[in-house]
Structures are given as structure tokens and as C-alpha cells.
Amino acid sequence: MIAIIDYNAGNITSVARAIHNIGQDFVITDDTKMLDSASHVIFPGVGAAGEAMVYLRQKKLDIWLKACLLSGKPLMGICLGTQIILDNSEENKTNCIGLVAGSTKRFPEHLAVTGQVLKIPHMGWNRVTFRRNHPVFKDIDPAAEFYFVHSYYPSPSDEIAILGTTEYGIIFCSVLAVKNLVAMQFHPEKSGRPGLQILKNFCAWRGNDF
Amino acid sequence: MISKRIIPCLDVRDGKLTKGIKFKDNVDIGDPVEAAREYYEQGADEIVFYDITASSDKRDIMIDVVRRVAETIFIPFSVGGGIRNLEDMRNVILAGAEKVSFNSAAVREPAILTEGARAFGSQCVVLGMDVKKVAFSKQTPSGYEIVIEGGRIHTGLDALWWAQEAQRLGAGEICLNSIDADGMQDGYEINLTSLISENVHIPVIASGGAGKPEHLAAVLTEGKADAALIASMVHYRTYTISQIKHYLCGQNIQTRMLW
């Protein structure tokens, strides 16, 4: 059973629909007992860091997530769920969960490439350059593109946590991987076939890196 | 780098697909869920649904369409038309749409943009602008005016002013439709598109006038659009989205080529 953490952060039903589409059972929950009994946990999210953290602390989900990283259970962060696993976020100057050392930063103003000003949010399809192989990204074509929509990006302090990067005026970390955690800035549930493949790979993953 | 998005627009009335020419003489041409699936398979980067259902008691039909689309395709899609308040927005988002676009409602009650952004994030809030070319005047210094109700009502609002105001209020994207070019298949309004796109910092989707792949190439380069909306040229099967993308690729315009 795949658990999707419900923390009042936007449209998580699209993640559930994608999980259903790849033939997996799921539960949407904020109950730590239910999360304990799941084989895999997805931490999704669209919304703002500040409000998300208030709700997570109320439900003690921040503590649960820290324990989850130690337990070895496969854990996936998506979008806001990736940004707030770091120590802090520039969005509303928020202290976050701290599963991974580092911070979440805002794209600089006035990004430009060859004269064309880049819009913020970074909204649309973009590529990921992977630094190493990872079971969750097995069989993903290097030319595949993924759907992004964000104004902030994760910036882990330890380089080794960076699995993939994306270029948008700057080169930023778009995929993080630490032990049984894999976290991405883009939305696999909205990234067509390659996105569904990532979710499929995740559901088959045992939480080990190699 | 980010790819330019190609977005088919599906006009829906009473749960059925239609495509109007200049907003008149709409003809049913199919099932929106099937059309969405076909465009998803052809490589659409996003899909826009525009609900032109007249009577409000038939709104639930649209919610059902949204739900079925969300179960069928795994790319973002938005819904516009007839969304007047936060409650309408919530229903559409919970049914599975990524974004909601406000057009007339935002003109009548601009606060809806702020409320929508606060509730769901500005990435969920699209400002739909129907624009008509007018004489330069004190009231419309850009030479473009916002019209509503499918072009029947002139608002007196300057298009550039309104784009910037909507951005300030919370819109995360603009879908910019030229009423003059809409349905003519004679090319996008390039001047209007670059004017708006260069003066806001949120993405702009160009709409109205697409008839052949060259039109998309022009609006995505000269017009500085971040995305291009298409309708008739794919609805009537003159082109597939894949053909359009291959053409753009040949013009060195980056689009998503793997799906």
C-alpha cells in the first residue's frame, strides 16, 4: 500500500490518480499509524512553505518524516514536499523539517538567457541531467522532460545529495536522493509517460540506493 | 532550458466539444475526454478547456468532464469559462484541474484573483484576457482594450494595464486571446503578444489565429510567448500536434519531443 501524506497542501488527488493508473493501491492520510503500515510514502504538495509547516507540526508529521528516513522505508518528495524537507526556506522565512541539510531558495529576479527574460514561476517542461544512476530513474530517457511549476528551488548543502539538476537561467538541484529518500522539484504525476514510469519505479523500489 | 508549450484548447458546451468561429455558430465536434486523450497521445504539453455552457444548472456536467479527463491524462490542464467565485474554483481543482482561468469574473471582481492565489497558489490562477485592437487614447494607451462576454462588451480597460494589474493581484499566468485574430486562422496578433509578454514577469500563452505551424513559430519567437494555444488547426485534423512540434524543432524552437 502506497500512502500519500495529506497535509492540506493543494491538489494531491492528481498524485492519487496517477498511482491508481499504474495499478497500485493507495491511501491518502495524515495519520501516522496509517503511514507506519504503508510500504511506500509519498510527500506531495502544492502551496506555501509557511502554512504547510504549521499543519505538519500540528500533526507531528515532521517528526514522523524524520523517523521515516531512519527506518529505510521508501519516501518520495514532490514539489513543495521536496522544498520543505530541507532545513529552511526563503518562502515566508520558514524553518522546515531538516531531513536534508540545506535551504530552499527563490529564483533570482531578472533571470535572462540570450536576451530573453525568464519568467517566474518556472512553469512548463524541462529536462533533468542526472549525476548518477538511481533505481527510481531507471529506464528514463535522458531527453525526457518533466513538468515544473515553482518559484523556489531546493539547494542542499551537501553536493552528494544532488541526484539531478535542471537549467533555468541558473543550474539548480531538481532531484535529491539520500538513502531511502528521493525527492523531485517537478511533478511526476503531471509529466506524462516518463512521470508515470518514475512513480512505477518508486513503487518497486526497496529504498536502497544501489 | 524550458520548452515552449503547445496547448490545444477545447471549447465545451453541455459536456460536448465545440469550436466556434469568432464565438458564433458553434458546432458540436465530439467528446472532450476522447479529444483530450488524443491530444495527450499526440504530445500536447497541456490542455485548456473552455466551458461555454450557458445555463448554470448544467455546470455539474463540466465537473464530471474534468474528473474523467483527470483520470485519463497525466499532463496539466486548466478550465475556464463560467468560473465566478472561489467555490467554483475549488470544485474544478478538486475534480482534478491544475489551473483555473478567470476572464469576465476577474474584470467584474478583481479580488477573485487574489483570493484564488491565496487559497491555491498563484500557479493555479490564470487570467484569461480577450483583447480587441482600438484607437490609441488616454484610456487605452496601449491601443488594445479588454472586452468580455465573447467580445460583446467593451470594458474600457487598457489591455497592458490590466495584465500588469492582474499580475499584481495574484495571477500566475496569462492566456492572451486576440478577438480580432480568433478563428481566422491567419496568424496570432504578434504585436499584442510581445507587448504583454515583455511587460509582465509571468508566463503568457498566446491565443487566437493559429492556422499553420509557421504561425506558432512566429508567436513563440517574435511574439515572445511562452506557450501557444491552438484549436481549429488540430480539431479539423489539418495538422497533428506531433507534426507541429516537428516543424518547430526544425526551426530551432525547443519543444518537448518525447512523450
**Interface residues on A facing B, Cβ-Cβ cutoff 8 A:** 10-11, 13-14, 17-18, 20-21, 46-48, 113, 116-126, 141, 143-145, 147-150, 167-168, 187, 189-196
Amino acid residing at A54: V
Residue B129's pLDDT is 97
pLDDT tens per residue, range B135-191: 999 999 999 999 998 788 999 999 999 999 999 999 999 999 999 999 889 999 999
Quote the minimal CA–CA distance from B28 to chain A in Å: 28
Distance CA B128, CA B109 (A): 14
Residue pair B13/B29 in contact (Cβ under 8 Å)? The answer is no
Cis peptide before A121 (omega within 30 of 0): yes
pLDDT tens per residue, range A92-130: 899 999 999 999 999 998 887 777 788 888 999 999 999
Amino acid residing at B207: S
Residue A92's pLDDT is 85
Residue A9's pLDDT is 64
* Rg, chain B, Cα only: 17
Write the class of the CATH domain A2-204: alpha beta
Report ipTM (2 d.p.).
Answer: 0.92
Residue A131 has pLDDT above 70, yes or no: yes
Domains in chain B: ranges and CATH = 5-250 (3.20.20.70)
| Per-residue b or e along B72-106, where b marks 16 or more CB atoms closer than 10 Å to that residue's CB | ebbbbbbbbbbbeeeebbebbbebbbbbbbbbbbb
Cβ distance of B203 and A123 shorter than 8 Å: yes
Give chain B as a 3 state SS string. CCCCEEEEEEEEECCEEECCECCECCCEEECHHHHHHHHHHHCCCCEEEEECCCCHHHHHHHHHHHHHHHHHCCCCEEEECCCCCHHHHHHHHHCCCCEEEECHHHHHCCHHHHHHHHHHCHHHEEEEEEEEECCCCCCCCCCEEEEECCCCEEEEEEHHHHHHHHHHHCCCEEEEEECCCCCCCCCCCHHHHHHHHHCCCCCEEEECCCCCHHHHHHHHHCCCCCEEEECHHHHCCCCCHHHHHHHHHHCCCCCCCCC
pLDDT tens per residue, range B67-98: 999 999 999 999 998 888 999 999 999 899 99
CB-CB neighbors (< 8 A) of A126 in chain B = 1-3
CB-CB neighbors (< 8 A) of A190 in chain B = 74-76, 98
Beta bridge partner(s), residue A75 = A41, A181
Residue pair A173/A165 in contact (Cβ under 8 Å)? The answer is yes
pLDDT tens per residue, range A153-176: 999 999 999 999 999 999 999 999
Residue A116's pLDDT is 75
- CA distances A126 to A167, A187, B44, B45, Å, are 8, 11, 14, 11
Cα A158 to chain centroid, rounded: 17
Q: Where are the domains of chain A?
A: 2-204
Number of Cβ within 10 Å of residue A54's Cβ equals: 13
Residue B19's pLDDT is 61
Residue A124's pLDDT is 96
